[in-house]
């Protein structure tokens, strides 16, 4: 299938990494982005070994090392006194175990690395998809104020509010999870007095939790503060939040948490909505990728990694010689169970992170100390060992 024409809608992390994987197997890829300029909302992103494996194979190891931060550990802590509940090495021990490193990065830095690796003539900005029509052997794409395009395969990598998904399967009805998230970036020099290690930290407490880690060459500290709340109407990454509200929500928490929130100039707030796994991702010559088909809560730090995996598996399937509809069915068969499992685990972590102090919380802490819960190496091996370019049907790891 070399020379197969593939149109990718969306030039985010998922769309651009998919374009690179598809180009690597000889596809003729064109990426269409509705915005007039490339950009990424949000702040930090985790690139775990299952994703860095793919990006290294695409030739991006040097650039990832330049823009990424390699944390020493994942440090899960108690909310008030900061007592360690579980500390899992993420530096050289993790790379020795899984073969590839773990990076923390600013989303915009990672996007820039991906965009620079895709030939500029293959990225078409200002192209808002208004519809598509599949014929027997091609898909015609229509854009607002732009010429139509024809492709052999259409990939909707257009995010959580995907137009391609809605055209295929109708509108979604996301469910508010009862959580809102404050997020922000703090210049690292403002935090020197807090003596914060180069780790990914998770402070867990009643009804909320707080995540922080360095990005942008350790120049910035990224944080996400999750708070339970009864209701919310909008689903947006760009609503301004009040720093004072975040400080109030985390009153009495560890001094590092209070110190980071006190040092931030501005914060943004967004509501977390949950979506049940889709029964299907593909129809004919059209399929979905990333948040368009498996948006997940950020409680496993796997959203971007799963989108990167999608692109690698899609490229493998399209390069396998089958006709595109059959290749897309195989892609769905290989990817959907794994992504759905990750969605479920991400949702479950909301409960585990937010337990009130008491017997359940004490049992959780004992399980963490025994290495019987997430982020011990044995438990996460099915995630980190996975090679999405050589996938197996159960979403695990070939042995």
pLDDT tens per residue across span 191-244: 999 999 999 999 999 999 999 999 999 999 999 999 998 766 554 445 567 899
More confident residue, 398 or 345: 345
Averaged pLDDT for residues 322-326: 96
pLDDT tens per residue across span 151-188: 999 999 999 889 999 999 998 877 888 889 999 999 99
| Cα–Cα distance, 358 to 202 (Å, whole number) | 19
pLDDT score, position 237: 46
pLDDT at 336 over 90: yes
Tokens 């500029």 — which residue?
120
pLDDT tens per residue across span 238-262: 556 789 999 999 999 999 999 999 9
Active-site residue, selected from the candidate residues 32, 103, 213, 384? 213
Q: What are phi and psi of 90, to 5 degrees?
A: -125, 0
Q: Where are the domains of the chain?
A: 5-172+276-384
Percentage of the chain lying above the pLDDT 90 cut: 74
Q: Please give the mean pLDDT across all residues of the chain.
A: 91
pLDDT at 399 over 50: no
Provide the token pair at 353: 């992170």
Fold of 5-172+276-384: FAD/NAD(P)-binding domain (3.50.50)
Exposed/middle/buried for 246, CB within 10 Å: 0-12, 13-18, 19+?
buried
HEC-encoded secondary structure of the chain: CCCCEEEEECCCHHHHHHHHHHHHCCCEEEEECCCCCCCCCCCEEEECHHHHHHHHHCCCHHHHHHHCECCCEEEEEECCCCCEEEEEECCHHHHHHHCCCCEEEEHHHHHHHHHHHCCHHHEECCCCEEEEEECCCCEEEEECCEEEEEECEEEECCCCCCHHHHHHHCCCCCEEEEEEEEEEEEEHHHHHHHCCCCCEEEEEECCEEEEEEEECCCCEEEEEEEEECCCCCCCCCCEEECHHHHHHHCCCCCHHHHHHHHHCCCEEEEEEEECCCCCCCCECCEEECCHHHHCCCCCCCCHHHHHHHHHHHHHHHHCCCCCHHHHHHHHHHHHHHHHHHHHHHHHHHHHHHCCCCCHHHHHHHHHHHCCCCCCCHHHHHHHHCCCCCCCCCCCCCCC
Integer CA distances (angstroms), 61 to 58, 68, 108, 114, 351, in order: 8, 10, 17, 12, 36
pLDDT score, position 343: 92
What pTM was computed for the model? Answer: 0.93
State yes or no: is 377 an active-site residue.
no
pLDDT score, position 22: 98
pLDDT at 371 over 70: no
CA-closest candidate to residue 149, choices 328, 49, 9: 9
pLDDT score, position 41: 65
pLDDT score, position 375: 66
pLDDT score, position 398: 43
């Amino acid at each position: 299938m070399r020379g197969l024409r593939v149109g990718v809608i969306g030039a985010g992390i998922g769309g651009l990494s998919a374009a690179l994987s598809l180009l690597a197997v000889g596809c003729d890829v064109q990426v269409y982005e509705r915005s007039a300029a490339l950009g990424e909302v949000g702040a930090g992103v985790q690139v775990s070994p299952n994703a860095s494996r793919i990006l290294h194979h695409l030739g991006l190891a040097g650039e990832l090392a330049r823009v990424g931060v390699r944390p020493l550990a994942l440090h899960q802590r108690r909310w008030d006194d900061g007592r360690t509940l579980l500390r899992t090495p993420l530096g050289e021990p993790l790379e020795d175990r899984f073969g590839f490193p773990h990076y923390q990065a600013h989303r915009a830095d990672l996007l820039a690395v991906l965009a620079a690796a895709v030939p500029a003539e293959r990225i078409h900005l200002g192209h808002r998809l208004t519809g598509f029509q599949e014929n027997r052997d091609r898909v015609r794409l229509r854009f607002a104020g732009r010429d139509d395009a024809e492709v052999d395969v259409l990939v909707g990598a257009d995010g959580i509010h995907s137009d391609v998904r809605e055209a295929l399967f109708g509108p979604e009805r996301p469910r508010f999870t009862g959580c809102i998230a404050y997020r922000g970036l703090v210049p690292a020099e403002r935090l020197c007095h807090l003596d914060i290690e180069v780790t990914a930290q998770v402070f867990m407490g009643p009804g909320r939790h707080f995540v922080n880690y360095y990005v942008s060459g350790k120049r910035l500290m990224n944080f996400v503060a999750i708070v339970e709340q009864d209701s919310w109407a909008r689903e947006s990454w760009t609503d301004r939040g009040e720093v004072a509200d975040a400080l109030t929500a985390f009153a009495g928490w560890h001094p590092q948490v209070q110190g980071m929130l006190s040092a931030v100039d501005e914060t943004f707030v967004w509501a977390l909505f949950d979506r049940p796994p889709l029964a299907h991702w593909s129809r004919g010559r059209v399929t979905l990728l990333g948040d368009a088909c498996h948006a997940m809560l950020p409680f496993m730090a796997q959203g971007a990694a799963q989108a990167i995996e999608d692109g690698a598996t899609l490229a493998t399937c399209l390069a396998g010689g089958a006709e595109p509809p059959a290749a897309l069915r195989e892609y769905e068969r290989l990817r959907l169970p794994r992504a759905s499992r990750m969605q479920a685990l991400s949702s479950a972590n909301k409960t585990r992170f937010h337990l009130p102090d008491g017997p359940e919380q004490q049992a959780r802490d004992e399980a963490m100390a025994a290495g019987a819960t997430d982020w011990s190496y044995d438990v996460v091996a099915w995630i980190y060992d996975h090679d999405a370019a050589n996938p197996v049907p159960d979403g695990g790891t070939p042995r």
